């Protein structure tokens, strides 16, 4: 039996840095033995099928292979379709009534508790809001991520130290759920 996964690469193809062409990423994933490989956008989203059920092992393999092929490290997260669907289903904000650029999910490599973000005065950032989920943080930013002061505060190195984290807008979240359905 195979499982559908999404590989979420962090910080590639931004301002000409850490270039990972999607065609080469598809080739790399295929060479690693994965099937039904496709990519979404140029921002590091790939979907594939694998017989493995070891997300951490798949992640380590992909990170090592990217570094060997491209010559630089790229933090990655690999999540299966049911997990991605559960994160979308658990969204505490009215996703259906918002624009994709207003809602974001930051995926973490492990569970994160509220104490990590206790120093943030959420009221000071209204109408922006965030909520924690299962290895995820939901961010409502009505003016978009680029203008979000709350996003800036949430991603301070002191708060994300020791975590692998990568953020996707709601359009990408929904598309990855669709692409990883079995």
- pLDDT tens string 14-59: 777 788 899 999 999 999 999 999 999 877 899 999 999 999 999 9
Q: Is the pTM of this model over 0.85?
A: yes
C-alpha angle 169/174/177, rounded to 5°?
125
Q: What percent of the chain has pLDDT over 70?
A: 99
Q: What is the pLDDT of residues 66-94, one digit of tens each?
A: 999 999 999 999 999 999 999 999 999 99
Tracing tokens 């709350």 back to the chain, one arrives at 150
* Confidence grade of residue 158 (pLDDT, cut at 50, 70, 90): confident
Question: How far is residue 167 from each of residues 31, 33, 36, 77, 144, measured CA to CA in Å?
Answer: 27, 27, 24, 11, 13
How far is residue 129's CA from residue 15's CA, in Å, rounded to a whole number?
A: 28
Determine what percent of the chain falls in helix, strand and coil, rounding each to the nearest 5: 40, 25, 35
- Identify the pLDDT of residue 176: 97
76 preceded by a cis bond (ω within 30 of 0): no
In the chain, the domains with their CATH numbers are 3-83 (3.30.70.1280), 86-179 (3.30.70)
Q: Is the pLDDT of residue 11 over 90?
A: no
Question: How far is residue 52 from each of residues 36, 57, 78, 101, measured CA to CA in Å?
Answer: 14, 9, 12, 33
Q: What is the pLDDT of residues 91-131, one digit of tens each?
A: 999 999 999 999 999 999 999 999 999 999 999 999 999 99
What HEC string does 24-74 produce?
Answer: HHHHHHHHCCCEEEEEECCCCEEEEEECCCCHHHHHHHHHHHHHHHHCCCC
């Amino acid at each position: 039996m195979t499982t559908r996964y999404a590989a979420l690469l962090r910080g590639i193809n931004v301002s000409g840095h850490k270039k990972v062409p999607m065609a080469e990423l598809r080739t790399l994933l295929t060479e690693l033995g994965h099937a039904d490989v496709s990519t979404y956008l140029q921002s590091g989203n790939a979907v594939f099928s694998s017989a493995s059920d070891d997300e951490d092992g798949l992640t380590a393999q992909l990170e090592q292979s990217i570094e060997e092929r491209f010559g630089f490290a790229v933090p990655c997260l690999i999540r299966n379709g049911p997990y991605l669907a559960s994160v979308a289903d658990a969204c505490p904000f009215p996703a259906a009534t918002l624009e994709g650029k207003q809602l974001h999910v930051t995926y973490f490599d492990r569970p994160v508790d509220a104490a990590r973000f206790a120093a943030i005065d959420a009221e000071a950032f209204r109408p922006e809001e965030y909520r924690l989920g299962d290895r995820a943080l939901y961010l409502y930013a009505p003016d978009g991520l680029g203008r979000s002061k709350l996003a800036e505060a949430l991603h301070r190195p002191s708060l994300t130290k020791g975590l692998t984290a990568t953020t996707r807008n709601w359009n990408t979240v929904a598309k990855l759920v669709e692409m990883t359905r079995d």
